[in-house]
Structure formats: structure tokens, C-alpha cells
Structure 1
Amino acid sequence: MYGIPDTDAFIFDHCNKSMGQCRISAERYPLWKRACPGLNDIGFIRLGMLRCISLVDSGRHFLQAAEEVHEEQCPLSTYFKSLKSPRRVRMLEAVEQQSYDIYSETLSSHGIDYLKSFPELNDYTVLAADGHFIDHACHTEKGRNGKVYAAGFIYTLNLRNGLLRPFSLITNGTRRHQEIPVLRDELKRENRTKNSTQKCLYVYDKAVTDYAFWNNQIEHGNLMISVLKENSVATFVESIHFDTSHELNTGIESYSTYENNGIRFSIVNYRDPETKKLHRFITTLPGSINPGTIAMLYFKRWTIEKAFNNSKSNLKETKAWSSDNNSLKNQMRLTAMSYNLLRTVEELSKIQDPELIHPSDKKYTEDLEKRQQAAKKRGGFVNPLFFNERIARISSYTIRAVQNAIMTGKSLSSFINALVAKLVPRVNQIGEH
């Protein structure tokens, strides 16, 4: 990675590597492969990532910046037609998967694992999932009721490494969003090719609760954690034994099996030792999983909101590129690829010196210590699991550094060194109760 001469070249190299992996993994000649002299696929992906990372207001603004800043000339018609191409959609779907795998292997090879405190989850891919909505495109046609709505997507965030994945397009803005039916349909589609022995755990908000659907998903290796709806109707069946002395189960009051219309699931009652507030979680995980793990994973679900905040606040991805569904699918995948580039850069900078941490991690630890002292005065304490490493929001400094490096041609190693220079000494943690 450090041998790449500049940041733009690194992006180009990564696109090439991802494309190469697609061709290796394909069982036959990819149907989406085609020579396009006007704008080849690598150029299309690279331009898309540059658009996501650059601070631009529109496609036209980006193409002007690409010509004047990056010396890249691409006719308007060629660029906008390529965004709507069904072939490009299939191509980018394959490339994004390989890009994600490459970044995952990179982070794993450097020992980055934010779920290492939960070894019982080693066999699971743990994904925080949520809908993400942005302004509709300027020329979005009004629906039958004469209104337009926000354009919407579903993303997942891997809670082990912090990488983002596009899951499904919800709406282009011509109709009101229906998030959960889209989620169910996409899972059913994936099940046709998914290996059922691969366990995938989805952590979603309470809107996802559907007893019959998730009960059927167990055979496909798909499980879920959510917060229990206040009006849920279920019958108590039996208590589930758990180790009350284990630190993972701090704050757990009960762990039980419940039933609704013959479908069984587990409910966890967790009382926050700091606030004394009761939280109730529902899951289809087996009873062998610690209930404290289930509670903590739901709290970690909010990490995906930080990714959305990065996208909107730092990358200015607040508006749909088009009302065309193919364009929106491409936007969704290019956004994820760009975010993962930034995430990987920041994670690699943070591990250069084990004695140093990111300023945001220091601030978070100091805030926890203040909360700990305040909680002790009230007779409580902060759950010690909150003192574990967490997936932090990508810093604005890192994102600006990448943007500037692309514009100035700065080498990847030089700006990563600049990021390392911003690290600070670790805070002596108390974290005891």
C-alpha cells in the first residue's frame, strides 16, 4: 500500500485489483465485460469514487472539477449515460464485492477486530443495518399523488471492521419509502445464492420485527437482534440459564424464551447500571449466546449512523445523482467503496504506534470517566463493556487529508504520516465499578 506513488494512483490501482478479482472469481466470462473506448469500466469506477470524495454540488460541477483539477475529460453525455447503464450496474455490483473483500482482508491482516471481546460471535458476520435517505434528484418526476419524496437506500455496516456495504435501493423519490418490505425481498433474493452455513446476524431497529419472517430465515443462516416493541404480544415459555457473574452479562435482569403464534424467540431484559433504564431486546440467536452480548450489539448498531453522518457532513452526499434506479444503485455502491477507502486509511494510520490513539478515542475515554464518576455519586456505574475499543466516526481531518492529497498529488505514505502525527498518548482508563 505504501509503495503507491500518490493517492489518486492508489484509487486507480485498487479499482484495477478489484476488477481483476472479479474476473478470477467468475465461473465464466462475465456477461458485463465490454470494451468502452469512451469511458472504460476502470475509469468509470475511479471517476465515481472521486465524485463521492470530492466536495461538489452536482454531476456537472464534478465533471468541470475533474477536467480542471484532475485533467480528466469526459463528455457530459457519456458520463450520465454510463450511470444509467444496466451493464455498469452488474459490473459495479461485482467489483464492489471484491473491493469490500480486499479491504476486509487488509484490516484483518493488521489484527483489526472490534468484536474480539465477544469470541462467541466468531462464526457470525455481524451487520448493523438501517435505511439512509437523501434529497431526491432535481428532475425527479412527481408520483401519482403529485408529490416527491426522499431517495432511500439500505446499507449494512460490519461491526467487526467498520466497513460499509450497500444492501438495496428503497426508492428513487417518486413514492413514499417502504423500508422493511425491501429488506425482506432482498434477503429472499440473496438466499437463492447464499450458503446457509454462513451465519449472518442483522442488528436493526424495532421496525424489522416480524416473527414469521425471521423464523423462516434461520434455516438460511440469517438471524436478527432488535429492540422489543412496547405493544408486542408474546407468551413466556421458559427462562434461559446464563452466567450472572460474567462481565459480559453486566446489567442483565432476565433472559427468556417467549412464543407468538407457535414461533419462539428470546427476549433479554437489560437494565443500564448507569441510568437504571430498562431496555428489552428480541433475538433469534440461540440461547448459548450471552444475553449481555445481545444487548451490547444493539447499542453498537448506532455506529452506522456515524457512517451516514460522514457521508452527509463530510462528503456532502446529500442528494441523489439521478431519479434513474440504475444511477442510484451505482451511487449507492460507489458511496460504500469511497467510505471504505477512508475507513481503511484511518484504521491503518491508528495502528502505526500502539502507544498512541486517535484524539476522538481519547475524548471518548475521558467522557466515559466523567460519566463513571457521576454515576458513582448516584450509586451506579458505567457498563465496563463501554470501555472496550469501538468503531469511531471517521475524523473530518482524515477525510480532508484524503481530499487534499487527491488534489495535490501527495503520496499516500506522506499523508498517512501526517495522520499518525495527530495521534496522542493513551488515557489511563479506570473503567472499574
Structure 2
Amino acid sequence: MILGRLKSLMQRLTDSTVFADVLAPVERALSRVRTAPAIGRTLNMADFIALGVLRHLQGMMTLREQVQGLWHLEANAEARLPLARSTWSDALASGARGAVLEGVVAALLEDAKPILPDRLAGIPGLGTRPVRATDGTYLLESAHYRRCTPREGGQDNPKGHAALPFFNLRLGVAEAVHIETRSRHEVRMLRDYDQQPRALTRERGVLWLVDRAFIDAAFWDKKKRGLGSTMITRMKSGLRVDSTEEIPVTDDPYNEGVVADLRITLSSSREPWRLVTFRTRRGRTVAFLTNDFSLLPGVVAFLYSRRWDEEKCFDTWKNDFAQAKAWGKRLTAIENQMRLVLITHLLLAMAVPTLLDETVRDEKALRKQDQRQRAEPDAPDGTDRPDWAARLFRHTSKISRQVLRFFKHSFLAPASPALYERHLRPMLLHYLRLGPDTVGTKPRPAGYVRLLWRAS
């Protein structure tokens, strides 16, 4: 009886709906991933991923909220719920399911490459080289997790569960996440992750953009010698420099704002490093540390600024996907939760260009970017980007909140090209207006969007 009702519920969620269109790449990805026979006797992998994506999409903080919401979706709801909370919790904490989720993330990334634009195309000296960023973020523990910090005699991190996402700057999406519940420094977390056989830090020729907390000269020297991978970060004031040698700065438009370029030696390294000093349009002086000597100094400064894309990703996860708190208390459950958020972000990133049958840009966000670029350097809403870099910011760093609202409130709507053309495209072009023929009219109230799909 329960299985029948669960099947009926999933049929309603995925029968020619907007949600089904969003989930379509998952079915293709699962067909390329080996699944253990014992997985999914009650809740199969397709439904497990669908419910996880839906929870992120709706921004539901608690499992109780989602289960009750699903209960009310049934036309003839009985006393018992279609899915017990314990069933979902057990599935979330399954290592076997985690292996399948990893495979799905990898398959979706391959599918996303021909769909998503290359955000770093045209940067001199970079070519097709992989560019990734990483930085730490934290999740609050679940209500069932009892923290015991080192001060209390335990090993738990006082800030919460630490997550170390690895962000692909070319595609604008995160590719992997390393989770740590113990109280450990970011560099130790990076070294732990590097021990995994399929760690992204083992890939050749990657340019890494990292925070100052990840300055570990021995680690990055080894990566450069063995893999040809280099890094860019902000200079740390406490880092000891033994000697400096000036590198001539070429007269190149891409070097606009460069004050100095130095070859330096660090007390903590036997290899040469580089210190680039840059003055922004607004008069701030910033120093960048790198072991990459192949890039123009102005490009070094520009690339580090693209780390902001990762911060925008964190903003989407925490404020829109309700990812600020762990769903379970076991490490495996937290890891699977993060894999599900990777899948959700990938699906939404692919959904807009796929459903609208072309690469559509968020014109509203781009207009704001252009206004900030045209502002005087001392204007409060100006930008620090050099003028040559403005043309490279043609793709927004964040999934538009208006787009997220469309999928959040219209996930049960009957899918059709007309629906996407009439209600999704205008959100990218004219915010909450109904379409190109209504430019200049008064925006509709936000609550109106929730009812749009019913009229379609």
C-alpha cells in the first residue's frame, strides 16, 4: 500500500511537469552509472534524487516540512504518509547510494560541458586550461547531532561541519565537496582530500584560485613539480620574503592597474614565487601571491577576482536551497546531502539554456553590471574591475532568484515550450513583466508569479 502510494506520488511529480523537465538529465546519468542490486527496494535512486532535488528547490529546512508537503500533494491522502521519514533518513545515510550520487555528478558534469558557456574564454595565456577555486564554508549541525568541541574534550569543529567545495570557474558550477566534522585547518582538509584517488587536486595543469588560508608552499610546490598545477592567492602579511627581483611589466592593455611584478623567494619554499601588486579602479592596492609565471600580471589579478563566482554559489546554496544546516548527523548523510546540492545546482544551470532552446543570459543582472562599470571610480555602486575585463563578464555568477522562484512555484505545472517562453524567458529579460511586448509597464507583484502556471 505504501509503495503504491509512493509510486503514485512520484508519478504526479514527474508526469510531464516542469519538475520532470528539470530532472530529465538525471535519468540519462543514472543509465551510465552502475547501481548495486540492493539499492532502492523501497526508494529507488531516481526517486531518492528527485526528492532531494525538490527539497533543495523548495528551500525546505526540515524533513518534516517536506514530508508533510508531499502528503498534501496526494489527491486522496489517507492517515499514513506515502514515505516514512526513517526511510528517507536511512537512504540519506547510505554509502552505496553515495557512490551512485558521485557517479551521477560526474555524468551530469560531462553533459553540462557542451551546454554551459565557457566563462573564461578569450583570456590571454589561459587557453583551455582548467581553472578551479576552493574555499571553506560551514553547515550547522542537525538537531540530532551533539557537538563536543576540543575545549570539551572532543574533536568537533566549534563552527559546525566544514565543507570544502571545488568550483569550476569555466562552467560556473561546483564539481565536488569534501566534508569534515572534526576541528581541522583548511590546509589539513585540502591535504586530506588530496589523498582520495579521484581528487580534483590530482588533475594535471589546473590553475587554482584559493584563499590566504590555503597558503602552503610545500603543497603547491609539489603540485607544480609533479602535475604542472599552479595557484593564485592574496598575499599574507605574516609570510616571510627572503629576496625580491623585479620583473619588467610589459605595456599591454591587460596590465592596466599593475603597480609591480616581483620574483620572490619565500622562507617556506625552495622554489621561486611571484608577487603582483595591483591598484584597482577605486584606488585600493592589493598584493597577489602566485607560483605561475606564464600569465600576465594583470590577468593574475583579474582571475583572482573571479573567486567571487564561488561566493555567489555559496549564497545560492545557503539562502535559496536551505543548505545552511545539515540534514543528518552521520558523515555519510552530510556528504550525500552535499552531492544532492551539486546535482540540483547542475540541473538548474542546464535547465534554462535547455528549456529555452538557446543560451539565454540574465539581462537584468548584466544591465546592473554595466551600470557599475560605467560609474565613476569613487561612486558608491561602482566596481573595481579594469575596463578591459568588463567584456568578459557576460555570464552572471549566480542563478537568478527570479528563475529559482519560477521552478520553485511552477514545478507541478504541465511542461510546454509556451510556458517557458511566456513565463521563464521574461524573468531573464524584463524581471517580473509578462514578456517583450510589455517593456515599460509596471512590474507585477511577486505573488502573481505563483499563479502564472495555472493560467497557462
Q: TM-score range by the shorter chain?
A: 0.7 to 0.9
Asked if 1:114 is matched to 2:125, the reply is: no
**Letter of the structure 1 residue corresponding to residue 47 of structure 2:** G
Comparing 218-227 with 147-156, which one deviates more in the overlay? 147-156
1:405 and 1:415 in contact (8 A); partners too: no
d(CA) in 2 for partners of 1:385, 1:155: 30
Q: CA deviation at 1:177?
A: 4.8
After superposition, residues 255-294 of structure 1 pair within 5 angstroms as: 255-260=261-266, 261-272=269-280, 274-285=281-292, 287-294=293-300
**Letter of the structure 2 residue corresponding to residue 224 of structure 1:** M
After superposition, residues 150-165 of structure 1 pair within 5 angstroms as: 150-165=160-175
**Letter of the structure 1 residue corresponding to residue 412 of structure 2:** M
Q: CA deviation at 1:179?
A: 2.3
Match of 1:80 in 2: 89
2:232 and 2:304 in contact (8 A); partners too: yes
Asked if 1:235 is matched to 2:242, the reply is: yes
d(CA) in 1 for partners of 2:103, 2:21: 20
Match of 2:448 in 1: none
Comparing 127-136 with 318-327, which one deviates more in the overlay? 127-136
CA 245–185 in structure 1, closer or farther in 2 if over 3 Å, else same: same
Q: CA deviation at 1:132?
A: 1.7
Q: CA deviation at 1:50?
A: 1.1
Name the SS of the counterpart of 1:120 in structure 2. Answer: coil
Unaligned runs of 5+ in 2: 1-14, 76-80, 431-435, 437-456
Match of 1:176 in 2: 183
**TM-score, normalization by structure 1:** 0.83
CA 142–64 in structure 1, closer or farther in 2 if over 3 Å, else same: same
Name the SS of the counterpart of 2:119 in structure 1. Answer: coil
d(CA) in 2 for partners of 1:412, 1:311: 28
Name the SS of the counterpart of 1:323 in structure 2. Answer: coil
d(CA) in 2 for partners of 1:193, 1:313: 27
Comparing 131-140 with 253-262, which one deviates more in the overlay? 253-262
After superposition, residues 385-424 of structure 1 pair within 5 angstroms as: 385-390=388-393, 391-411=396-416, 414-415=419-420, 417-422=422-427, 423=429
CA-to-aligned-CA distance 1:193-220 (integer Å, 9 cap, x gap) = 9875x32122111011111111001113
**Letter of the structure 1 residue corresponding to residue 270 of structure 2:** G
Q: CA deviation at 1:288?
A: 2.1
Match of 2:17 in 1: 6
d(CA) in 1 for partners of 2:97, 2:362: 40
**Letter of the structure 2 residue corresponding to residue 310 of structure 1:** T
Percent identity between the aligned chains?
A: 23
Match of 2:68 in 1: 64
The root-mean-square deviation of aligned C-alpha atoms, in Å, is: 2.9
CA 340–308 in structure 1, closer or farther in 2 if over 3 Å, else same: same
d(CA) in 2 for partners of 1:164, 1:353: 20
CA-to-aligned-CA distance 1:121-140 (integer Å, 9 cap, x gap) = 22321112111212211111
Q: Across the two proteins, how many residue pairs are aligned to each other?
A: 399
Match of 1:105 in 2: 114
Match of 1:428 in 2: none
d(CA) in 1 for partners of 2:102, 2:31: 14
2:263 and 2:275 in contact (8 A); partners too: yes
Q: CA deviation at 1:296?
A: 0.6
d(CA) in 1 for partners of 2:385, 2:91: 52
CA 63–280 in structure 1, closer or farther in 2 if over 3 Å, else same: same
CA-to-aligned-CA distance 1:132-191 (integer Å, 9 cap, x gap) = 2122111112215448542221112221121122330122xxx43532211122123247
Q: CA deviation at 1:297?
A: 0.9
Name the SS of the counterpart of 1:368 in structure 2. Answer: helix
**Letter of the structure 2 residue corresponding to residue 17 of structure 1:** R
Comparing 326-335 with 157-166, which one deviates more in the overlay? 157-166
After superposition, residues 24-423 of structure 1 pair within 5 angstroms as: 32=36, 34-69=38-73, 73-107=82-116, 112-143=117-148, 145-146=151-152, 149-171=159-181, 175-190=182-197, 198-218=204-224, 219-242=226-249, 244-260=250-266, 261-272=269-280, 274-285=281-292, 287-346=293-352, 352=358, 358-371=363-376, 383-390=386-393, 391-411=396-416, 414-415=419-420, 417-422=422-427, 423=429
Unaligned runs of 5+ in 1: 24-29, 426-433
CA 349–266 in structure 1, closer or farther in 2 if over 3 Å, else same: farther
Q: CA deviation at 1:236?
A: 3.1
**TM-score, normalization by structure 2:** 0.79
d(CA) in 2 for partners of 1:141, 1:86: 22
1:134 and 1:152 in contact (8 A); partners too: yes
